[in-house]
Amino acid sequence: MKIVLSPDPVLRQRAEECAPGDKTLKRLSKQMANLMYKNNGCGLAAPQVGVLRRVIVVDCDVESDKKNPITLVNPQIVETRGEPVVEEEGCLSLPGISVPVSRPPFARVRYFDLEGNEQEIAGDGLLGRCLQHEIDHLEGRTLFESTDPIARIKALREYDEALAAGAQPGDTSI
Query: Which residues form the catalytic set?
Result: 134
Which amino acid does the sequence have at 46? A
Q: Are the C-beta atoms of 70 and 122 separated by less than 8 Å?
A: no
Phi and psi torsions of 95, nearest 5° = -65, 150
Q: Which phi-psi region, left, alpha or beta, contains residue 55 (left: φ > 0; alpha: ψ -120 to 50)?
A: beta
Do the beta carbons of residue 169 and residue 39 sit within 8 Å? yes
What residues contact residue 63 under an 8 Å CB cut-off, 6+ apart?
none
Q: What CA–CA distance (Å, rounded) separates 49 from 59?
A: 17
